[in-house]
Amino acid sequence: MAQQATLSGRVATGDGEPLPGATVGVENSSLGTFSDEDGEYSLSLAAGTYIVQVSFTGFSVEKATVTVAAGEAATLDFMLKEGFELSEIVVSGSRKPERITESPATIETIYSREILEYAGNPAELVARQKGVDYFRAGLAAPAFNIRGFNSNFNAKNLQVTDGRFSTLVATGLPLGPLNTTIKEDIEQVELILGPNSTLYGPNAHNGLLNTITKDPRQYQGTTITLNPGVTGDGDAYYSARIRHAQALNDKFAFKVTAEYTAGTEFEYTDSVFIDRTGAFDDMGNAIPDGIKEGYEELELDRDVEFMRGEFALHYDPSDKLKLELAGGMSNSTYLSPTNVGRNQIKDWQVGYVQLKASGEHWFAQAYYTTSKTDSTYSIDDRTKAYYSLLDAGQSDAVARGPLSYSTGAIFQDASNRVNAEAQYNNSFGDLKVVGGVQYQLDNANSRGSYLLDENADDYITVSQLGAYAHLTYDFGGGWRALAAARADNHEVYDFNFVPKVGLLNIGKMGTWRLTYGQGIAAPTILNLYGNLFGGLILGNAEGFTLTDGSKVEKQRVEKISTLELGYRGQLIKNKLFIDANTYYNKSKDFLSPVTVVGVTTERGDTPIADVQDAFAVYGGLVATYVNFGEINTYGLDIGLTYYFTPEFSGFLNYSYFDYSADEDDPENDFNNDGVVNFLDLLVNAPTHKMGAGLNYSGDKWFGSLFGRWVQEYDYFSSFQIASRSYPELTYRGLPIIEGARSGDSFNYGPLGGFVTFDASLGYRFSEKVTLSAAANNLFNTELREFTAAAPTKGLYTLELRFNLPAIRSGKK
């Protein structure tokens, strides 16, 4: 104890007001603390010289060098300036805190203050970021995509929360509405544009969304939020949320959160097209052979309901050791768009438990994720089964009963995942090192409903092990180099190596960066072990043998290589900021949508008759997932922000995206029609999109106005189609005609082609009470943003928030 020194001080705003909850840390170590309610902090340090850094969301980052002697006390005060974005701290680019201008990746940030000042769903703020395709796929299913190749079953954008993969086990899809985190507990959201697989592994392919929750020591007190609203259809929407966080003493702190949200999905009934040859219509007339009639979805339930909650316990035995135990659970009911129509999500439960530990130069974590549903089902398939039963002479009651699920409409899940990670980070002079290992064990179980498992005790188990290294070196004069690599070994798709290199020039007004990186998109367990509709669709983990003896190779990873040039900085000091990037991608070995490969005799070494449940019906005819093709994509993203005052700013975003492919390469001819065109490549992204807005955040009033334009574009995703007419072309065997049936779905015409506006306004009556309002789709325009989803209309919400201060132990 006699060898320790004490460093203390005060953190304040430019007006001299104390700034409680500011992060005070020693650079290049995990030593740190938070300022208390008076803005004061204290650190115990060994004798030596240190660089101390202080940060708080929405304020500048300040650094100072201090030398402390053994057994003595030193004082160091900080004053933070408000509102300038070059000082923002992010963690996603290098998996350690760094200024956003010094990150080797293009990162979009959404901070706690923006989230709390927006009375609507915080996911809507993703729409305001450049380079992002955002979709309001109905009331309860917001979705996003980055840099092309979107689909109704998109697993190429990784979702992470507090370092934890937030994805479903069997499908690899982001949790999205199934997440367990409430709005009031979000510290910041970071969006990485482009691949970042060296640090995060497979499926940080097109991009990454990283949500970071609040530390209970930094954000103490109780927050209660009431959120009533109404949709553009006149249906009610309401949400209630609570968060409580408290530091019990210098070592212990905890938080708990809870939410209940309910509403009614926008009014819309999809058409299910059914061939009822030999049956009779409602007028008693025979239905002609081969004609598919459109019918309404059976027993459509538009009720939306979410319950979610989390807890976290923080224990710091010393300044150099920090421990955290966290967990959460959600229960969700809503309508979800898929490639074959809508799924009725019924009481889908997601849970996790996570344990983290960190020291001065190391970090470790382990977490367990569960997924469970008993009664989720495909509305499309159940509707078809219902009419088939009627045509077979069954009564309406029988046709609506358990038999309507017997063709594979029901989806059950009882899966879990185990993850573990250990990381080391340190500085050796001008060299900074981050390295680690990650392990994942997926235990998928569908109770025989959509995977090749047989019952509740038969798990499909898949493991993978990865290791990564991330090195940066400062040459001086603002020049910094990056070299990173990752090696993964997967039980099914084997070994992959992913490199990344970069060069940064960090100046006083901003930073230039040039990077080259690779990423991979991994086949999901559904791709590898799927078993849908009696085995008509089978996963491709082992390959297939066709009747002529030829082979269909097992599915492997999709690969992307990206060259990117970017700049983030000031054009006018403390007034006009720019963030721009241009990129060129080369993608190959695409993970295909489900496709018919022909009549098979074996799956791997197993006779197909032993695998395909309905072999008597299909005779070995199989649809599966394969790899194909190579394509180049390229684009640019530009964002400008102007601060009229520190409180009032305006922004303008623009993104361009396009592609090219070798039309003479037969590997690109996915549909085997002899011509390579957009129907093979399915880029599914607009060429141009733009957003602009105004933000104001004062002591009392705050608000925003945002407008978004998306160019019209064609979209194809398995059975789903949204396209202008191409009468000379066919898709899935039918001409492409806008406003007509296309296979089993209806072509309403292209997506995009709209301008929409959002607005918000709020007032802080005091530190304890805030009232705000938000309008998504301000003018209640009917927008068709996604397929197999309701056209979105307006959503208008009020938000009343009460902030109650924490009861601080030992203080009045």
**pLDDT tens per residue across span 157-188:** 889 999 999 999 999 999 999 999 999 999 99
pLDDT of 70 > 60? The answer is yes
Contacts 24+ apart (CB under 8 A), 668-674: 668/628, 668/629, 668/630, 668/631, 670/590, 670/592, 670/595, 670/628, 670/629, 673/730
Tokens 């500085």 belong to residue: 427
**pLDDT tens per residue across span 12-55:** 887 788 887 778 888 766 677 778 778 888 888 888 888 888 87
Residue 427 resides in a domain: yes
User: 130 and 40 in one domain?
Assistant: no
Using 50, 70 and 90 to split pLDDT, how confident is the model at 811?
very low
User: 580 and 633 in one domain?
Assistant: yes
Residue 537 resides in a domain: no
Could you list the beta-strand ranges (E) of 644-687.
Answer: 648-660
Question: Which residues 6+ apart lie within 8 Å of 373 measured at CB?
Answer: 345, 346, 347, 348, 349, 411, 412, 413
CA atoms within 13 A on the CB side of 387: 23
Using 50, 70 and 90 to split pLDDT, how confident is the model at 809?
very low
User: 140 and 73 in one domain?
Assistant: no
Q: Which pLDDT does position 100 carry in this prediction?
A: 62
**pLDDT tens per residue across span 416-472:** 999 999 999 998 999 999 999 999 999 999 999 999 998 888 999 999 999 999 999
pLDDT of 328 > 80? The answer is yes
pLDDT of 648 > 60? The answer is yes
**pLDDT tens per residue across span 363-422:** 999 999 999 999 999 999 999 999 999 988 999 999 999 999 987 789 999 999 999 999
User: 223 and 356 in one domain?
Assistant: yes
* Listed residues 52, 82, 112: the one ending a domain: 82
How crowded is residue 169: how many other Cβ atoms within 10 Å of its Cβ?
26
Using 50, 70 and 90 to split pLDDT, how confident is the model at 628?
very high
User: 479 and 336 in one domain?
Assistant: yes
CA distances from 776 to 733, 795, 796 (A): 39, 5, 6
**pLDDT tens per residue across span 714-743:** 999 988 999 999 999 998 888 999 999 887
* Listed residues 16, 48, 82: the one ending a domain: 82
**pLDDT tens per residue across span 206-238:** 888 999 999 998 888 999 999 999 999 999 999
**pLDDT tens per residue across span 86-114:** 556 666 555 566 666 567 777 888 988 89
User: 138 and 60 in one domain?
Assistant: no
Domain that includes residue 67, residue range: 1-82
CA distance 182 to 308: 7
CA distance 643 to 649: 4
User: 776 and 658 in one domain?
Assistant: yes
Q: Give the chain's domain count.
A: 2
Q: Which pLDDT does position 805 carry in this prediction?
A: 83
Q: Which pLDDT does position 219 carry in this prediction?
A: 87
Q: Which pLDDT does position 1 carry in this prediction?
A: 42
User: 137 and 3 in one domain?
Assistant: no
User: 157 and 43 in one domain?
Assistant: no
User: 189 and 325 in one domain?
Assistant: yes
Residue 233 resides in a domain: yes
Residue 253 resides in a domain: yes
Residue 637 resides in a domain: yes
Tokens 């980055």 belong to residue: 146
Q: Residue 450 belongs to a domain with what CATH number?
A: 2.40.170.20
Mean residue pLDDT of the chain comes to 89
Residue 606 resides in a domain: no
User: 2 and 145 in one domain?
Assistant: no
Residue 612 resides in a domain: no
Residue 288 resides in a domain: yes
Q: Residue 2 belongs to a domain with what CATH number?
A: 2.60.40.1120
Percentage of the residues of the chain whose pLDDT score is greater than 70? 94
User: 263 and 142 in one domain?
Assistant: yes
Global confidence as pTM = 0.89
pLDDT of 81 > 50? The answer is yes
Choose between 594 and 422: higher pLDDT.
422
Q: Which pLDDT does position 155 carry in this prediction?
A: 82
